[in-house]
Structure 1
Amino acid sequence: MLFYTIASLLLAATTLAQTTPAGFTPSTNMTLDVYYGSTYITPGLMMKKSSVQKAPVVGVTGTELPGKYLLAFIVYNSQGTGGKRTTVLHALLQDYAAANQKQNGTNVITTKATGPSSYFGPAPPAETPKHPHNYIFLLFEQPANFAVPASHKQTVQSRMGFDIVKFMADAGLKDPIAGNYLQVQSGDNTKRSFQA
């Protein structure tokens, strides 16, 4: 009985720590708080395409973020050309900093930057059978004098085939400090598991 209780607690802790999809690299144990309007994104939440078209409010709970930060928003395992799965960059926004405001206990961070790659909302293609797409948020400490490495400028502009691990190495980024993800599938009749 004691073993069952301990195993259950460990499983619950593992589930709570999962802020990116299973098998995705890089990962982090800190949840990035993401709000689309009043809807809080718990990791893996299924959302309607129409409700995630504007950039969300982001931040963290329980800690202050005193520096500048870089936010990457990517879709992992998206259907690309010829049915081949790929990664697409949906946003790469720099200069996030503390906004000195809270939303439901979240220490909000904001940016006025629209680049290096502006936000565009999830728009998964029609697939039969439907395939939920994982849209992943990763928050990084932004290095001083951050710039997109020359070898990644074309990919950041085209957005297709974005390799976050290689980008991190070439841009001098450390592991992400926080992450989160949501799921969207084709069509706008996707049922959400949370109603706001």
Structure 2
Amino acid sequence: MRLILALAALTGAFAASANTVPPELAVIGEPSIVLNATYSVGSTSVSFKPGEFLNATTAQDAPQPQLHDSGLNSSASYLLLMVDPDWNATSPPSVIVHTVVTNLTTSANSTSEAKVIASYIAPAPSSGTHNYTLFLFDQPSNFSIPSDYESYMETTARTPYNRINLPLEKFIKQAGLGTPVAANYFRVTAASNSSGTSTTTGTPSGTATSTAATGTNTSSAAAVRGNFYLATVLALFGAAVAIV
């Protein structure tokens, strides 16, 4: 009986850890803690479970990590890294950087002290389904982005292509981040592929039920994303010409 219980516990622990990241990022680490993050849609906060589908409109504004009651070290600082590994499948993974935020803590208002290193670019897949993954790392003391990767953090509308092709494993190692302590991911299907795909908007809480994104920067964000994916196509075309 004890052996059966032990095997059941190990099976449950494995299942919990294996579900926090998509398969293509398992090499980075599969922490057992699910990172609780929410998206604000009007006055509603929308949360999501690992692997859940979200509408692109739900994820327009930057995600808000909710680290209180997470079981994490209350005296530590944490770094949030959100990436898209599915735009160009490679091994080891080469990803698009969607945001980097430092100085997060477990206090209820931790985001007030947070520092945005790479401002948020909302998901806007041009084809297929992408797994947008959020990693939480222990933040090293006196942390700074290694100089080799500073260009990946640039956020001006004219240079979004700098977010492409971050060598994720090398970056994590050179930045001294270690293995992630928590993670979560959600899926977004491109509009051209959405027919026949079951899509939800996460788990809402609050007084409003609208799924339309609001804010004063919606049009500018759309312009950034448009330039971003146009630049991606041009960059890939240039790479193909170089290879030929």
Letter in 2 for 1:19: T
Distance 1:87 1:151, change over 3 A: same
Name the counterpart of 1:20: 21
Give unmatched runs, 5+ long, in structure 1: 102-107
Distance 1:23 1:112, change over 3 A: same
Secondary structure at the residue paired with 2:66? strand
| Aligned residue among 80, 89, 97 for 1:71 | 80
Distance 1:111 1:179, change over 3 A: farther
Q: Determine if the alignment matches structure 1 residue 159 to structure 2 residue 163.
A: yes
Distance 1:97 1:13, change over 3 A: closer
Kindly provide the CA deviation profile for residues 34-66 of structure 1, in whole angstroms up to 9, marking residues without a partner as x. 112332210011000000111122134441432
Using the alignment, how far apart are the partners of 1:155 and 1:62 within structure 2?
A: 29
Say which is worse superposed, 36-45 or 139-148, in terms of deviation.
36-45
> C-alpha displacement at 1:152, in angstroms?
1.1
Distance 1:58 1:124, change over 3 A: same
Task: Please identify which structure carries the higher helix content.
Answer: 2
Task: Please identify which structure carries the higher strand content.
Answer: 1
Using the alignment, how far apart are the partners of 2:172 and 2:53 within structure 1?
A: 28
> C-alpha displacement at 1:87, in angstroms?
1.4
Using the alignment, how far apart are the partners of 1:119 and 1:109 within structure 2?
A: 17
Secondary structure at the residue paired with 1:152? helix
> C-alpha displacement at 1:86, in angstroms?
5.0
Using the alignment, how far apart are the partners of 1:97 and 1:111 within structure 2?
A: 10
Name the counterpart of 1:93: 101
> C-alpha displacement at 1:132, in angstroms?
1.0
CA RMSD of aligned residues (A): 2.9
Distance 1:111 1:95, change over 3 A: farther
Kindly provide the CA deviation profile for residues 69-107 of structure 1, in whole angstroms up to 9, marking residues without a partner as x. 110000112159xxxx951000011111233x3xxxxxx
Could you tell me whether the CA contact under 8 Å between 1:98 and 1:110 is conserved in 2? no
Structure with greater Cα Rg: 2
Distance 1:22 1:116, change over 3 A: same
Q: Determine if the alignment matches structure 1 residue 40 to structure 2 residue 47.
A: yes
| Aligned residue among 130, 137, 145 for 1:133 | 130
Distance 1:194 1:145, change over 3 A: closer
Letter in 2 for 1:21: P
Secondary structure at the residue paired with 2:166? coil
Name the counterpart of 1:186: 190
- How many pairs are equivalent? 179
